[in-house]
Structure 1
Amino acid sequence: MIQIRSVLLLALLALSTTVFSQTTYPKITGYFSVMHPIVTLSSEETAVNFRDYYSVNFPTGINIWKSAKIGFSFEIAPNIKTDDGISKVNSVLFHPGVLVALGHGYTFAGRLAFETSGRFGVTPVITKTVIKNTNSSFYVSLPFPIRFGNDHPATFTSGIQLGIAF
């Protein structure tokens, strides 16, 4: 009786070690980054960051990869803007989206955008992993936010984002 229990226990232990040592999905990763908008275009004006004002975003989020090719991401990004000597948190962006691995370190993120300033829209993002370590990776992204609402004209922005994923 004791031998049967021992054999069953060893078999269960061997099976659990094999199952848990494999790369499994869903796979969860987190990240932190800094995003600088470069230029914002609208029907009323062309606004350039660093010249007309200074704005910076701090996207922080969680990616849940369903497989090696597709995943879901949720990001929160506070925006700090300095204009005429006054600095403030201008808005907070809630940014859920779909991730698609394109291969060779490239990923496409198609995000919905909901800002506490009352603006909303979409943000297509192309990301390239530039340094991959065992426990982290560094990446560069090119986001292209498109925003509507809050009694302002539609805008299109280009920016650059640098981050670390872990």
Structure 2
Amino acid sequence: MSDLAARLRALPAFPEDLPVLDLETLPEDPTELFAAWLEEAIASGARQPHAMTFQTALPDGTPVGRTLILKDLDEHGFQVSTRSTSRKGRQLAENPRAAMLFFWRESGRQVHVTGEVVALGEDVSQRDWLARPTSDGQPNPEWQVYALQPTEIEFTQARHDRLHTRVAYRREDGRWIRCSDR
């Protein structure tokens, strides 16, 4: 083992008191659990609890990730925004599938969301643009709000023994199915 490997192994992991993911009390709709975990992260004072790694793909399938901010979650899906002409905007136009990975270190929780991405209407996009701190009050025709419509959501609750608790949901025939194959 190299010196770096030994130093990395010795780094502290999670706080002593970790929440427990009770598999017996899960909601039918995983967005309810996501919203509860996000609210807990906000209430805990975690910095940027709405930040996530947003992953798209190059034409050859190579994944590309960057950190974005969740703008909203509603019946349209998990919302982010960017210029339609940006690298990620072009990637979404070519392949409208993406993934999000939220990680709340303070609670040892992460949520992985995958699905199809759709562009929302001009009214939603311009409202978002005008609310940005850098907006000059003028419309931006390149600004676009996208909604990731989840087809799979996986929740992971860390444990000190590294036998983390995981539960996945998959959307089938318009309803959520809890998966035990992960």
TM-score by length of 1: 0.35
Higher fraction of strand: 1
Higher fraction of helix: 2
